[in-house]
Amino acid sequence: MESNKTKSDYNFERLSKVISPDGTTMAHRLAQDGNLPRKWMTKEVISLADSNGKNIASMLAYSDALPHEHMTLDILRMPSYFSYFKNTIAHSLTNYKCNRLPEKRMTAEILSLANENLSTPAHNLAAHGNLPRRFQVPEILGIKDKFGISVGDELNNYKNANPELCKKVDKFLIRLLRI
């Protein structure tokens, strides 16, 4: 081992080694198989992208294996390979009924990240009734996508599809408007 290289440097060199013509690295293969050790999930490694633009963070988010400590603004705004609308990783984590973005990692900035349709993670959360109350404020509820659908509209649509929540959401929105 050269004296100026650390063990971490050697791990990165091995993980970033391209092993197929499409630019897939050893880290991609390990992440795809669910075998990328957590201790090797550094920002440098999870930011690796192959020639198709598929980054490790995207693969980890898709398989619900992205460690919470890596759910930072820099990582969450990275493009998600598994999307049609140039979504971010934050979109991928909030795109389904089972939200995988921990509330403690949510910020107004993260929930406002827009894809090419100007849809945001806040839209995703509201559409499934998962938008935390602390983000149900005019600044977030008023964000509109390119079709004119606001986060508040998504929340209202969810409420109407789930009548048992209707009264609770109505009371909350009435209190919000009085402020």
- Residue 6 resides in a domain: no
Alpha-carbon distance of 82 to 95, in angstroms, equals 11
- Residue 159 resides in a domain: yes
Whether the Cβ atoms of residue 69 and residue 98 lie closer than 8 Å to each other:
no
Name the maximum alpha-carbon separation found in the chain.
67
- Residue 41 resides in a domain: no
Q: pLDDT tens digit string along 68-96?
A: 999 999 999 999 887 777 899 999 899 87
Q: pLDDT tens digit string along 28-72?
A: 888 887 788 888 888 888 988 887 788 999 888 888 889 999 999
The predicted structure's pLDDT at residue 165: 55
* Structure tokens given for 136: 């149900």
**Domain housing 163:** 103-179
Whole-model pTM: value is 0.77
- Residue 172 resides in a domain: yes
